[in-house]
Amino acid sequence: MIPTSFDYKKASSVEEALGMLGDDAQILGGGHSLIPALKLRLNAPGTLVDISKIDSLKVIRDNENSITIGAGVTHAEIAASDVLAQHCPMMGQAANAIGDIQVRNRGTIGGSIAHADPAADWPAVLLATDANVIIQGKNGKRTVDIDQFFKGFFETALEEGEIITTISIPKTAFNRNSTYVKFKQPASRFALVGCAAAVEMDGGSVKSARIGLTGVSEYAYRATGVENALAGKALNADTIASAVSGVTDSVDVMSDHYASEKYRSHLAHVFVKRALMNLSYSK
């Protein structure tokens, strides 16, 4: 459990960090995905650029139409945020379901989505929120729609030498009516299946729904089939049961020693159903 040797640089601003990111360098956030990989020698960068002390990356800001979360905000800080609890309850629920207290105190939301573990919680949640990811590189800033961010197995829209600075969550009716449910892989407590659901109701029927799933496939995805099937319908056991049937339709479902393809698929159905049932009880 000894990594190969590396240089360590601590950045105090995003600009400074960008300057430090040479060829063989890698960003260090909370370290809770990267350090284990280094110790197992699955990864051996020459330099680590520590961004965890950059103040501007550590704030949650309540704006008029959005809430912006710095990439360096920890899971624990999200769990404790009142403004998120009010505008997007699934954020706090997901944060509390991550790992254990040490992991939540160190790990960051930016690090999690940059890493894009197929079983991580944030990808499903952010897909459901309709977030924007703000990324900074040497040539400036760009904004990526969350729907375009996750590209594959540990693969994202992030380019070499770029840093995620902010995640922007829109203040919407569906985010206010949202929930996250998770079936934990018993050893790691990552998501064997995690489902984030956000539903806007109009009178008695669903106006719009966003459903993100993690753990099921090689990367988190939106169950658009389910979202569409719900539109215009009442939210009750029957409509939910018929809508969830398509939850794994367009994806390859993973298989491992904790969950075969068949069982994982089944869990995906169960957890989408449970998430939607949670929302069907709420006003």
Partner 1 sequence: MTKYIGKSVKRLEDKRFITGQGKYTDDIKLVNMAHAYILRSPYAHATINSIDTSEAKAMEGVVAIYTGADIPEAIAGVPCGWQVNFKNGDIMKEPPHPLLVRKKVRHVGDGVAIVIADSKAIAKDASELIDIDYDIHDAVTDPKAAAQAGAPLVHADVPSNTCFDWELGNPKEEVSAAMASAAHVTELEFANQRVVPNAIEPRSAIGHYDTAHDRYTLYTSTQNPHLTRLLMCAFVLGIPEHKVRVVGPDVGGGFGSKIFHYTEEALVTFFSKIVGRPIKWTADRSEAFLTDAHGRDHVTHAKMGFDADGKIVALQAYTYANMGAYLSTFAPAVPTYLHGTLLQGLYTTPKINVDVTATFTHTNAVDAYRGAGRPEATYLLERIIDLAALEMDMDPAELRLKNFIEPFDGVEQEGYVTQVALQYDSGNYAPVLNRALEMVGYEAFRKEQAAQSNGKLLGIGFSTYIEACGIAPSAVVGALGARAGLFESAQVTVQPTGKVSVYTGSHSHGQGHETTFAQVVADRMGIAIEDVEIIHGDSDRVAFGMGTYGSRSLAVGGSAIVKSVDKVLEKGAKIAAHLLEASPDDLDYADGKWTVRGTDKSVAFGDVSLTAYVPHNYPEGLEPGMDFSSFYDPTNFTYPFGAHVAIVEIDKETGAVKLKRFIAVDDVGNVINPMIVDGQIHGGLAQGIGQALHEGTVYDESGQLINGSYMDYCMPRADDLPSFEVDRTVTPCPHNPLGVKGAGEAGCIGSTPAVVNAVIDALWKGGFKVKDVPMPMTPERVWTAMQ
Question: Could you list the residues that contact partner 1 (CB under 8 A)?
Answer: 1-2, 4-5, 36, 40-41, 183, 186-188, 190, 257-260, 263, 266-267, 270
Residue among 78, 84, 114, 127 that touches ligand FAD (CB under 6 A): 114
CA distance 97 to 91: 10
Q: Applying CB under 6 A, does 32 fall inside the site for ligand FAD?
A: yes
Amino acid at 229: A
Kindly determine how many residues on this chain lie close enough to bind ligand FAD according to the rule CB under 6 A.
Answer: 33
d(CA 227, CA 283): 19
Q: Closest separation between CB of residue 34 and ligand FAD, Å?
A: 3
Stretch that binds ligand FAD, among 99-107, 235-243, 249-257, 265-273 (CB under 6 A): 99-107
Asked whether position 87 contacts ligand FAD by CB under 6 A, the answer is no
Between residues 110 and 212, which has the closer beta carbon with respect to ligand FAD? 110
* First-last CA distance in the chain: 50
Helix/strand/coil (H/E/C) assignment for every residue in 24-60: CEEEECCCCCHHHHHHCCCCCCCEEEECCCCHHHHCE
CB of 226 to ligand FAD, least distance (A): 22
Q: Is 190 in the site for ligand FAD (CB under 6 A)?
A: yes
Task: Give the Cα separation of 63 and 106 in Å (integer).
Answer: 25
Cβ nearer to partner 1, comparing 65 with 187: 187
Q: What is the rounded distance in angstroms from the CA atom of residue 114 to the CA atom of residue 262?
A: 29
For residues 57 and 51, the answer to whether their CB atoms sit within 8 Å is yes
Point out which span in 3-11, 104-112, 199-207, 240-248 binds ligand FAD (CB under 6 A).
104-112
164 binds ligand FAD (CB under 6 A): yes
Q: Is 111 in the site for ligand FAD (CB under 6 A)?
A: yes
Rounded to whole angstroms, the Cα distance separating 140 from 135 reads: 8
179 three-state secondary structure: strand
Least distance CB 217 / partner 1 (angstroms): 17
Continuous segment of H or E residues that includes residue 37: helix 34-39
